[in-house]
Structure 1
């Protein structure tokens, strides 16, 4: 049976998503308009949405997003 490799995360999910979104936006800013740039910007928006969902899930009372 194979053993699973486990990693102890040093940063929170919120921090990792924020870092990734910032990195993607910086990388996209250096590119000319085109398909690759749009893909990077879409991934950055997905990371930002994931940050909002994660914050909502951990909020007290689980209120609906506004």
Structure 2
């Protein structure tokens, strides 16, 4: 097997996911109501959730399992 390529990311995962969510919302806003638009909006919501995960995980309200 070949070696796995490693890419050094210059932006955090959260930044990239937030950008992806914005792009998806922009594309969805240019479509008429329908299944394709709803699918793009759903993907945007998922990306936004991912963009906020590390904030939630590192918030003081989160407790490690016992």
- Return the TM-score normalized by structure 2: 0.83
Which consecutive aligned stretches of 4+ in structure 1 deviate over 4 angstroms post-superposition?
A: none
- Does residue 49 in structure 1 map to residue 49 in structure 2? yes
Greater relative CO, 1 or 2 (CA 8 Å, sep 6+): 2
Superposed CA deviations along residues 8-63 of structure 1, whole A, max 9, x for unmatched, are 00111111011000000000000001111011000000011112222222x15461
Do the aligned partners of residues 10 and 34 (structure 1) sit closer, same or farther apart at CA in structure 2, a change above 3 Å counting?
same
1:2 counterpart SS class: coil
**Aligned counterparts of 1:51 and 1:38: Cα–Cα separation in 2:** 20
The corresponding residue for 1:21 is 21
**Aligned counterparts of 1:24 and 1:46: Cα–Cα separation in 2:** 11
The corresponding residue for 1:63 is 62
The total of aligned residue pairs comes to: 63
**Aligned counterparts of 1:38 and 1:52: Cα–Cα separation in 2:** 21
RMSD: 1.7
